[in-house]
Amino acid sequence: MTKEFTLDPVINTDVNKEFKQDEYVPLKKEVYVKAADAMSDKGYEEAYLGDTIRAKMKRDKKRFWAGDNISDYVREEDIPKLIDEATEAFETVLDRLLIDRENDPNSHGTARRLAKMYFNEIMSGRYDPAPDATAFPNDSADRYEGMLVVRSELRSMCSHHHQPVSGVAYIGIIAAQKLIGLSKYTRIAQWCARRGTLQEELANDIAKEIMKATDAKDVGVYVQAVHGCCENRGIMAHSSLTQTTVLKGAFKDDMGTKKEFFDNIKLQQDFAPR
Ligand SMILES: [Zn+2]
């Protein structure tokens, strides 16, 4: 027996299609709101908050992939409500997996634990605004002109299977007119990592955000990580290590800078191997 598959009306709306005033969009079972209401900022009380936020992002053509930060659309005070809604959805997932969440003491409360973990921990980099990285001027006569290489521990997860990704990022930078505190490099890297990512995208995102925070044009990011995807499932390879490199400015164009970056990484690895 096959059941007819119904497309999610919010996600599958054609973004290029203009909504008409009298068109109705189903937001929740048996609750229909006028498209105009769903698309307006006032939202709709009876619908899921998550659906209202998705409708706004679609209206604005804002991309909301697993690796995207959507903090402009999610207020801090929305999080408890979104956790409640995700809890309800995870309960359904556990039911469909035929797990007795009523009598199994270990599965009791798992739906809420999952919802909280996604919002507050493993995907927090999607909902939290960028870490505050106060910049200090680096424009005096004796300004620092050398290369800085920061080693940042990363915990992330793959967008495909939601399996853990763990590793380190080496962030190299040739200081521009401003400097940020050393811990900020790691905060920015972790903020980029706490989402559903692909390692290739992650290295790119870190480079982009570091450039934004420092105004530096010369930035290199080298990420090496092991993937739960390859270790816990699929090929079950326990020693799979993936390396990705993103080089910008002098790191890309100047062989000396590039070599210094990788020599520094080698020194760091000898000092703190993993
Ligand atoms: Zn995966």
Identify whether the C-beta of residue 175 lies closer than 8 Å to the C-beta of residue 158: no
Continuous segment of H or E residues that includes residue 27: strand 24-28
252 Cα–ligand 1 center, Å? 29
Q: CB within 5 A of ion ligand 1: which residues?
A: 158, 160-161, 229
Of the candidates 220, 217, 204, 206, the residue with the CA atom closest to the CA atom of residue 262: 220
pTM for this predicted structure:
0.80
Amino acid 274: pLDDT: 57
Q: How far apart are CA 156 and CA 38, in angstroms?
A: 33
How many C-beta neighbours within 10 Å does residue 243 have? 11
Q: How far apart are CA 81 and CA 64, in angstroms?
A: 19
223 Cα–ligand 1 center, Å? 17
Identify whether the C-beta of residue 110 lies closer than 8 Å to the C-beta of residue 90: yes
The first and second tokens of residue 120, run together, are 């507050």
How many C-beta neighbours within 10 Å does residue 244 have? 18
Identify whether the C-beta of residue 177 lies closer than 8 Å to the C-beta of residue 215: yes
Per-residue pLDDT of the chain (274 residues; tens, 9 = 90+): 445 555 665 555 555 555 554 555 555 554 545 555 555 555 445 589 999 999 999 999 999 999 999 999 999 999 999 999 999 999 999 999 999 999 999 999 999 999 999 999 999 999 999 998 888 888 888 888 889 999 999 999 999 999 999 999 999 999 888 889 899 999 999 999 999 999 889 999 999 999 999 999 999 999 999 999 888 888 777 767 899 999 999 999 999 999 999 999 999 988 876 5
Residue 274 CB partners (closer than 8 Å, separation 6+): 167, 168
Which residue type sits at 42? Answer: K
Which residue type sits at 231? Answer: E
234 Cα–ligand 1 center, Å? 9
225 Cα–ligand 1 center, Å? 13
Amino acid 183: pLDDT: 93
Amino acid 42: pLDDT: 54
